[in-house]
């Protein structure tokens, strides 16, 4: 005859397995709802990660500043030359921007970029994981909600997935679950950018007849309502037109260096603000 | 009781180290999933209730911190714990090579679950994309597993001493 202790163990195992299955299935039913316990874990982990990250960042920073200075002079010259070239570009773009602003005013168009932003620091990242997410140190207390776009230094980095009061989880654009409606800036050809892990993203549903070249700039279309129109996403890296099929295979390299994401800007704009 | 009170704190500390420190040290090339090594250790050496509670809390915390597919880590860690427990009841000679091999297989099993979930629920084939990551992570976890098993033995010993010395045996 089995002892009560054995029954107790079997019951505990069954309870844990059933609860795990319930959590797994409930989240698929209503993924937008974030439970109290998930919020508590997010809140608790951010101060810990901040502390550990600041200690390690300072150590790594010191190493990079004082030990890895080899080749800095030549790099400096290169950068100075690049600054001269970029300053010329900025001047041109400023003129274009002013023209654009005048034309917008004339046409009474809404400026898509006129949204408030919140700067946040990346405190937790797991670059080597299959799931591509980062934790940032701002949450609902700063007006951040799930679905808000997140910008890195070069362009779009991802979107807010979950938030607690002082922390948020960002789904990076390279994650397999990330889908962004985009178009090629040069010819306005539209597609959906799906994350492909470390290799960047794949631009899907672009017909074979469309002319797309490596180096073409990819920007957000604003159609899905999450990202404002015209945000820089990346550049086309590879274009492959297979023997058969309706669509071509286009790989996109993100404009933001996802692996070195340290600070981000969260655009305070959700689906409800889409206009 | 002290064990169950310390469990959430310990899990968060461990995952913070895993997500932050080890990621910096590995330069993002490959991840060392210490939490999974701990789940297998729990299957081998802890009692069923303690082990399954540990696996559940670790999985849930990892889900909150890095998970994209909600509930994935909870389910996979509980499953891996039960498999480890089943193996520990059948296999008595658990040497270093066996531990390394078993951890290797467990990491591959976890990644296989990811592939199946993506294929089944989202219709995305990520097999070729995560093959390299999975193999690298499995090798890294296998190689470092004996060292972490030694560390967990010591921690468990410390916890047992603490619990024994606790005046009211909380």
Query: pLDDT tens digit string along A247-263?
Result: 888 999 998 888 878 88
Report the pLDDT value the prediction gives residue A121, as an integer from 0 to 100. Answer: 87
A17, A31, A135 member nearest B65 (Cβ):
A135
pLDDT of B122 > 80? The answer is no
**pLDDT, averaged across chain B:** 85
Q: How confident is the model at residue A275 (pLDDT cuts 50, 70, 90)?
A: very low
Report the pLDDT value the prediction gives residue B42, as an integer from 0 to 100. Answer: 94
Q: Say which residue the tokens 């809404």 belong to.
A: A110
Report the pLDDT value the prediction gives residue A159, as an integer from 0 to 100. Answer: 92
Closest-CA distance, B164 to chain A, in angstroms, reads: 21
If you average pLDDT over residues A119-127, what whole number do you get?
79
Contact state of A60 with B24 under an 8 Å Cβ cutoff: yes
pLDDT of A40 > 80? The answer is yes
Contact state of A133 with B68 under an 8 Å Cβ cutoff: yes
If you average pLDDT over residues A157-182, what whole number do you get?
90
Q: How confident is the model at residue B24 (pLDDT cuts 50, 70, 90)?
A: low
If you average pLDDT over residues B102-118, what whole number do you get?
91
For residues A49 and A56, the answer to whether their CB atoms sit within 8 Å is no
Chain B within 8 Å of A68 (Cβ-Cβ)? no
Determine the Cα angle at A51 with ends A159 and A165, to 5°: 45
The tokens for B2 are: 């002290």
Chain B within 8 Å of A24 (Cβ-Cβ)? yes
Q: Which of A50, A45, A265, A40 is nearest to A165 (CA)?
A: A40
How many C-beta neighbours within 10 Å does residue B133 have? 20
If you average pLDDT over residues A183-187, what whole number do you get?
88
Q: Which of A197, A208, A157 is nearest to A180 (CA)?
A: A157
Chain B within 8 Å of A135 (Cβ-Cβ)? yes
B65, B75, B133 member nearest A21 (Cβ):
B75
User: Comparing A113 with B163, which gets the higher pLDDT?
Assistant: B163
pLDDT of B101 > 90? The answer is yes
For residues A27 and B70, the answer to whether their CB atoms sit within 8 Å is yes
pLDDT of A24 > 70? The answer is yes
How far apart are alpha carbons A94 and A229 in whole angstroms? 19
Chain A within 8 Å of B130 (Cβ-Cβ)? yes
**Which chain A residues are closer than 8 Å to B82 by Cβ?**
13, 17
- Tell me what percent of the residues of chain A surpass a pLDDT of 70: 86
Query: pLDDT tens digit string along A202-235?
Result: 898 888 888 888 989 999 988 877 888 888 899 9
- DSSP secondary structure letters along B37-84: HHHHHHHHHS-HHHHHHHHHHHHHHHHHHH-SSTTHHHHHHHHHHHHH
Q: How confident is the model at residue B39 (pLDDT cuts 50, 70, 90)?
A: very high
This prediction has a pTM of 0.77
User: How buried is residue B46: exposed, middle or buried, by Cβ count under 10 Å (0-12/13-18/19+)?
Assistant: buried
Closest-CA distance, B30 to chain A, in angstroms, reads: 5
A8, A128, A196 member nearest B23 (Cβ):
A128
How many C-beta neighbours within 10 Å does residue B148 have? 18
Distances (CA, A) of A212 to A172, A184, A246, A247, B149: 25, 8, 15, 12, 53
**Which chain A residues are closer than 8 Å to B126 by Cβ?**
130, 176, 197
Q: Which of residues 164-193 of A touch B (CB under 8 A)?
A: 169, 171, 175-177
Contact state of B61 with A45 under an 8 Å Cβ cutoff: yes
Report the pLDDT value the prediction gives residue B22, as an integer from 0 to 100. Answer: 67
Query: pLDDT tens digit string along B127-166?
Result: 887 887 888 889 988 999 999 999 999 988 888 888 777 6
User: Comparing B168 with A197, which gets the higher pLDDT?
Assistant: A197
Chain B within 8 Å of A62 (Cβ-Cβ)? no
Q: How confident is the model at residue A197 (pLDDT cuts 50, 70, 90)?
A: confident
What interface predicted TM-score (ipTM) does this complex get? 0.80
Chain B within 8 Å of A197 (Cβ-Cβ)? yes
Chain A residue with CA closest to B122: the answer is A177
Contact state of B13 with A48 under an 8 Å Cβ cutoff: yes
Backbone angles phi, psi at A129, to 5 degrees: -75, 160
How far apart are alpha carbons B35 and B155 in whole angstroms? 14
Contact state of A28 with B121 under an 8 Å Cβ cutoff: yes
Contact state of B122 with A45 under an 8 Å Cβ cutoff: no
Closest-CA distance, A116 to chain B, in angstroms, reads: 27
Q: How confident is the model at residue A170 (pLDDT cuts 50, 70, 90)?
A: very high
pLDDT of B28 > 70? The answer is no
Query: pLDDT tens digit string along B56-96?
Result: 999 999 888 887 787 889 999 999 999 999 999 888 767 88
If you average pLDDT over residues A100-128, what whole number do you get?
73
How far apart are alpha carbons B117 and A36 in whole angstroms? 25
If you average pLDDT over residues A263-275, what whole number do you get?
69
Closest-CA distance, A185 to chain B, in angstroms, reads: 27
> Which of A45-54, A172-181, B160-169 tops mean pLDDT?
A172-181
């Amino acid at each position: 005859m089995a002892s009560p202790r054995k029954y107790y163990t079997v019951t505990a195992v069954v309870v844990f397995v059933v609860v795990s299955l319930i959590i797994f299935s409930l989240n698929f039913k209503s993924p937008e709802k974030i439970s109290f316990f998930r919020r508590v874990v997010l809140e608790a982990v951010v101060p810990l990660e901040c502390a550990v990250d600041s200690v390690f960042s300072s150590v790594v920073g010191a190493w990079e500043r004082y030990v890895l200075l080899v080749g800095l002079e030549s790099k400096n010259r290169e950068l100075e030359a690049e600054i001269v070239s970029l300053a010329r570009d900025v001047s041109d773009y400023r003129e274009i921007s002013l023209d654009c602003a005048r034309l917008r005013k004339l046409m009474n168009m809404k400026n898509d970029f006129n949204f408030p932003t919140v700067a946040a620091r990346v405190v937790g990242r797991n670059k080597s994981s299959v799931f591509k997410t980062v934790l940032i140190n701002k949450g609902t207390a700063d007006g951040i909600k799930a679905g808000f776009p997140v910008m890195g230094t070069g362009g779009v980095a991802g979107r807010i997935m979950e938030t607690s009061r002082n922390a948020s989880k960002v789904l990076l654009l390279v994650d397999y679950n990330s889908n962004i409606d985009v178009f090629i800036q040069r010819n306005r050809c539209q597609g959906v950018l799906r994350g492909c892990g470390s290799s960047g993203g794949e631009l899907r549903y672009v017909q074979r007849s469309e002319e797309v070249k490596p180096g073409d700039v990819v920007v957000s279309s604003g159609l899905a309502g999450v990202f404002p129109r015209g945000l820089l996403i990346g550049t086309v890296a590879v274009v492959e037109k297979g023997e058969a099929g309706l669509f071509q295979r286009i790989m996109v390299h993100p404009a933001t260096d996802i692996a070195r994401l340290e600070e981000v800007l969260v655009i305070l704009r959700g689906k409800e603000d889409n206009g | 009781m002290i064990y169950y009170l310390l469990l959430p704190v310990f899990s968060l500390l461990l995952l913070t180290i895993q997500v932050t420190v080890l990621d910096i040290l590995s330069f993002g090339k490959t991840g060392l999933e210490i939490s999974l090594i701990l789940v297998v250790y729990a299957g081998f050496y802890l009692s069923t209730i303690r082990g399954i509670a540990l696996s559940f809390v670790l999985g849930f915390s990892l889900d909150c911190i890095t998970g994209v597919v909600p509930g994935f880590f909870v389910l996979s860690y509980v499953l891996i714990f039960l498999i480890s427990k089943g193996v520990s009841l059948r296999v008595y000679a658990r040497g270093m090579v066996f531990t390394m091999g078993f951890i290797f297989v467990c990491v591959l099993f976890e990644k296989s679950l990811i592939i199946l979930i993506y294929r089944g629920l989202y219709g995305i084939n990520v097999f070729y994309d995560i093959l390299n990551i999975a193999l690298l992570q499995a090798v890294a976890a296998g190689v470092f597993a004996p060292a972490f098993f030694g560390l967990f033995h010591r921690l468990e010993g410390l916890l047992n001493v603490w619990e024994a010395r606790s005046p009211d045996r909380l």
